[in-house]
């Protein structure tokens, strides 16, 4: 799947690009059944909601080894549906997966992600340039009620903003944009856009776009899976106390586009 010049220009301008129902119902069903299997794995690669204990984030589904290894997810990360557009958006053939994460917003319990830029954390990881793009896959329909993502269009062009560590709001600690700064940016930006869509929809977004999502007020779980692509040439430099491999991968081997039939091509997992 190759993006048109018009789609590339839209991504450069807005900082995101929505590809409705790019993946088939069968592909989504295969990923959903993998998520059901992985949810019950006892591993440090799963973050849980503080109060309910339900799964919030599950990491590292794209490799052949490790407790959360998953053949369908490994295949989709190398499929032409995701890898080819990522290569076009980053204008580089040699990409690797910085990390993969599967975010569940459990019905009623699933909590917010405050406004943030992903690259703030990745710069602290030692990643030299904001040359990463994320492919979001909607596993369930994403709605405003079940906590879809919101983007501020064009905010990636503001560059990296000052952020502060928030370790209070949810069980997941990360850098958020302080309220007054956020309001000032919102006053001079287009309104935030709700990123809703049917299962199978894929959304590419820039690592500096301002984004966040609300609480899940609905009776439906909302799963979204994120594949973060980085240029091999932009891999993190050495830092003191690097974060673990499941969020800052050190597997910098360039990915090659594989079969577009992720269901037919399932690699054998390492023991
Ligand atoms: O899954 C969500 O609702 C938001 C996730 C997010 O913003 C992130 O992981 O950076």
Residue-wise pLDDT tens digits, 259-271: 776 665 554 454 4
**Residue 105 CA, ligand 1 centroid: distance in Å:** 10
Average pLDDT over residues 214-237: 97
In a domain, 265, yes or no: no
Residue-wise pLDDT tens digits, 169-207: 766 677 888 889 999 999 999 999 999 999 999 999 999
**Residue 212 CA, ligand 1 centroid: distance in Å:** 6
**Partners of 241 in beta bridges:** none
Average pLDDT over residues 98-122: 94
**Residue 143 is part of which domain span?**
5-234
Cβ(99) – ligand 1 distance below 6 Å: no
Residue-wise pLDDT tens digits, 134-173: 999 999 999 999 999 999 999 999 999 988 888 777 666 7
Predicted pLDDT at 51:
76
User: Where does the chain have alpha helices with state H?
Assistant: 5-14, 25-39, 71-77, 83-90, 118-124, 179-187
pLDDT at 241 over 80: yes
Cβ proximity of 208 and 156 under 8 Å: yes
In a domain, 176, yes or no: yes
CATH at 166? 2.60.120.620
Sequence-ordered list of residues with C-beta below 8 angstroms from that of 131, at least 6 positions apart, any chain? 90, 92, 207, 230, 231, 234
Give the count of domains, the chain: 1
**Ligand 1 pocket test, candidate residues 213, 216, 220, 227, most atoms within 8 A of CB:** 213
Predicted pLDDT at 229:
98
In a domain, 74, yes or no: yes
**Residue 271 CA, ligand 1 centroid: distance in Å:** 31
Residue-wise pLDDT tens digits, 73-90: 999 999 999 999 999 999
In a domain, 182, yes or no: yes
Specify the long-range contacts of residues 164-170, CB closer than 8 Å, at least 24 apart.
Answer: 166/114, 169/111, 169/112, 169/114, 170/49, 170/50, 170/56, 170/111, 170/112, 170/113
Cβ(114) – ligand 1 distance below 6 Å: no
* Protein residue whose Cα sits closest to atom 7 of ligand 1: 212
Sequence-ordered list of residues with C-beta below 8 angstroms from that of 72, at least 6 positions apart, any chain? 27, 30, 31, 34, 262, 263, 266
Q: Tell whether pTM > 0.75.
A: yes
Cβ(201) – ligand 1 distance below 6 Å: no
pLDDT at 68 over 70: yes
In a domain, 127, yes or no: yes
In a domain, 115, yes or no: yes
In a domain, 248, yes or no: no
Predicted pLDDT at 174:
77
**Residue 66 CA, ligand 1 centroid: distance in Å:** 23
Atom of ligand 1 nearest to the CA of 113: 4
In a domain, 111, yes or no: yes
Average pLDDT over residues 216-220: 96
Predicted pLDDT at 232:
98
Residue with the two structure tokens 């050190």: 250
């Amino acid at each position: 799947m190759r993006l048109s010049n018009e789609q590339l220009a839209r991504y450069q301008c807005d900082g995101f690009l929505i590809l409705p129902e790019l993946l088939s119902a069968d592909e989504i069903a295969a990923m959903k059944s993998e998520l059901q299997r992985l949810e019950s794995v006892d591993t440090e690669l799963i973050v849980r909601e503080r109060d309910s204990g339900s799964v919030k984030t599950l990491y590292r589904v794209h490799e052949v080894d490790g407790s959360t290894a998953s053949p369908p997810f490994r295949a989709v990360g190398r499929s032409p549906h995701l890898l080819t557009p990522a290569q076009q958006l980053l204008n580089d053939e040699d990409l690797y997966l910085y990390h993969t994460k599967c975010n569940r917003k459990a019905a009623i319990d699933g909590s917010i992600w405050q406004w943030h830029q992903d690259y703030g954390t990745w710069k602290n990881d030692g990643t030299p340039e904001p040359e990463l793009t994320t492919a979001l896959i909607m596993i369930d329909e994403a709605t405003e009620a079940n906590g879809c993502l919101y983007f501020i269009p064009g905010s990636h062009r503001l560059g990296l903003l000052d952020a502060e560590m928030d370790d209070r709001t949810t069980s997941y600690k990360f850098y958020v944009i302080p309220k007054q700064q956020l309001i000032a940016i919102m006053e001079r930006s287009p309104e935030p856009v709700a990123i809703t869509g049917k299962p199978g929809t894929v959304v590419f977004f820039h690592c500096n776009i301002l984004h966040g999502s609300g609480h899940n007020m609905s009776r439906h779980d909302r799963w979204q899976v994120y594949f973060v692509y980085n240029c091999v040439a932009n891999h993190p430099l050495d830092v003191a106390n690097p974060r673990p491999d499941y969020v800052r991968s050190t597997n910098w081997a360039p990915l090659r586009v594989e079969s577009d039939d992720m269901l037919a091509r399932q690699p054998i997992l390492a023991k």
